[in-house]
């Protein structure tokens, strides 16, 4: 059971966690990294398959190569926004974040873990990836609790990241996470502040007993 104070702390981290892309060079304490990864490993997973691995990247050379892969994809993506009118300058910031953050963690998903017939995944195959996303959310909340900032980079070609990190072809590099301290922890989602998109009204996302629009 949880006390009111504990409950408040849990909602506080859920509501204040933000995607961050500006980092200080100060190193991330090893003990904090251990706790963040342990939080990930205690995420739920379908059939208890625990499909995740974590590649901790501190090598400047490898971080530069990852930033190169993301930068290439950023330029390719920007072409689709040429006629959009909304600024895409935060795409650049994100790549700066990859270079700035002292630690990058590549989180992978192994769809073969647990054998050919994972309970639950046999019905809904993407539950392996969803389990991995639950692990990432735990890492995000744990980072925030540790006073650390985290950013999720999700634009790159997986084949580039596989090449750079020597990841086998059947393993899915689903996220590049930048972790470090920051002096600008955002109060609101950056894409909201940049007027890219508003937060949806929650009431309009809620239905009772059946879908109804």
**Region 180-209 residues binding a second copy, contact defined as CB under 8 A:** 189, 191-192, 196-197, 199-200, 202, 205-209
Given candidates 26, 27, 75, 147, which one binds a second copy under the rule CB under 8 A? 147
CB of 25 to a second copy, least distance (A): 18
Q: Is 67 in the site for a second copy (CB under 8 A)?
A: no
CB-CB contact of 100 with 181 (8 Å): no
Given candidates 26, 29, 59, 64, which one binds a second copy under the rule CB under 8 A? 59
The backbone torsions φ and ψ at residue 10, rounded to the nearest 5 degrees and listed phi first, read -70, -45
Q: Is 89 in the site for a second copy (CB under 8 A)?
A: no
Cα–Cα distance for residue pair 146/126, rounded to 1 Å: 30
Other residues' Cβ atoms within 10 Å of the Cβ of residue 7: 11
Alpha carbon distance, N-terminus to C-terminus of the chain: 38
Given candidates 26, 64, 157, 184, which one binds a second copy under the rule CB under 8 A? 157
Given candidates 21, 22, 28, 52, which one binds a second copy under the rule CB under 8 A? 52
Closest to a second copy by CB, 24 or 191: 191
Given candidates 67, 95, 100, 114, which one binds a second copy under the rule CB under 8 A? 114
Written as six digits, the tokens of 38 are 């342990």
Other residues' Cβ atoms within 10 Å of the Cβ of residue 99: 17
CB-CB contact of 118 with 143 (8 Å): no
């Amino acid at each position: 059971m949880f006390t009111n104070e504990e409950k408040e702390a849990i909602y506080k981290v859920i509501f204040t966690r933000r995607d961050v892309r500006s980092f200080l060079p100060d190193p991330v304490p090893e003990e904090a990294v251990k706790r963040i990864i342990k939080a990930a490993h205690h995420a739920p997973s379908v059939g208890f398959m625990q499909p995740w691995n974590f590649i901790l990247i501190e090598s400047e050379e490898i971080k530069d190569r990852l930033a190169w892969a993301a930068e290439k994809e950023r330029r390719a993506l920007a072409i689709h926004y040429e006629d959009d009118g909304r600024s895409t300058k935060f795409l650049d910031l994100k790549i700066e974040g990859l270079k700035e953050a002292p630690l990058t963690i590549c989180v992978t998903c192994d769809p073969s873990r647990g054998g050919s017939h994972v309970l639950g995944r046999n019905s809904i195959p993407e539950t392996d990836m969803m389990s991995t996303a639950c692990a990432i959310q735990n890492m995000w909340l744990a980072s925030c609790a540790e006073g650390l900032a985290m950013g999720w980079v999700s634009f790159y070609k997986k084949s580039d990241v596989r090449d750079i990190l020597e990841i086998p072809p059947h393993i899915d590099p689903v996220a590049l996470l930048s972790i470090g301290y920051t002096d600008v922890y955002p109060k609101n989602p950056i894409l909201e502040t940049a007027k890219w998109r508003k937060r949806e009204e929650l009431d309009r996302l809620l239905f009772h007993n059946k879908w109804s629009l």
